[in-house]
Structure 1
Amino acid sequence: MKSDETVYRLDPRPGMRLFGLRFVLAAVLVVVAWLLAGVFDDGAGLAAAWVVGALAALLVVVSVLLLVRPPAVVRLDDEGYRLGRVPQGGVRKARWRDVSRATARDSLHGYALVIEVGDGTSTVPLLLVAARANELQHEVNERLNRAHGYRRLE
């Protein structure tokens, strides 16, 4: 990570919903493993139970890791920006010099930061970075101003 890079990560609230769904799925897998071990007395049933149990354990570990360190939604640096795994994000990365405009407006995914780049757009739903949405908008504006040589009136 560059020293001038800012990373905006997924807000914990949507992550908690996914965390809960993964734990429910892990619980279902544990029940299936238990049933496999109880119903089939042969080695194949026991092996299948171990595989399903291992999948449940892996699902729990991945869920905890994603909760502790949420995925990046957008990364900003002096050169430009890069989107993480944003649904319907559009242009995945661009340099600030190529950006013509950035606005906050309604989109298919709720209120979003829309960055216009040449003949495409990048859309970042602000719900994904909920607590830091204002900070993200301000930083994008500041980096755009610096890239295009604008400065504040004194």
Structure 2
Amino acid sequence: MNKNSNSNEKTITILLGLISMISFSQKKWTLQECEEYAVENNLQVIANKHKKSLQDANLKMSQNEYLPTVGVNIGNSMNFGQTQGFQGSIGRNDNFNNSANIGVNVLIYNGNRVAKNIRKTKYDVEALQYDLETVKNNILLQIVQQYLAVMLNRDFENQ
């Protein structure tokens, strides 16, 4: 089963749910209310919104690659013990070691990899926005098609 048929099945299920809600509920839904409800509650739309917010975060991370990175390490060690000398004397052998390191990495040039990555991520964000709009438009188109089919069937029944 491919992805497109699976999404069509989900959309048809939502439409059938909307139609059953319209026919069994006391409130009469307008076409615009149906469209708004379907767009707000469609799983594909919600998933695409999450994907877009994730891609927005990736864009911010890409832009932050120009910033320097800083690393700090602190170490401490202690050794306690005794040693025996040549003449049998016992002496104390205690060692205390401390260390601290700070490292800074600054990007000077890397063949414009960061700039190209930012540009690519911007295109990805834009593509996801277009995908989101396409999904919304497809849902609206399916709702209008179903609405017109219902209206056509009513006309046939009335004749």
TM-score computed with the length of structure 1 as normaliser: 0.34
Which protein has the bigger strand share? 1
Which protein has the bigger helix share? 2
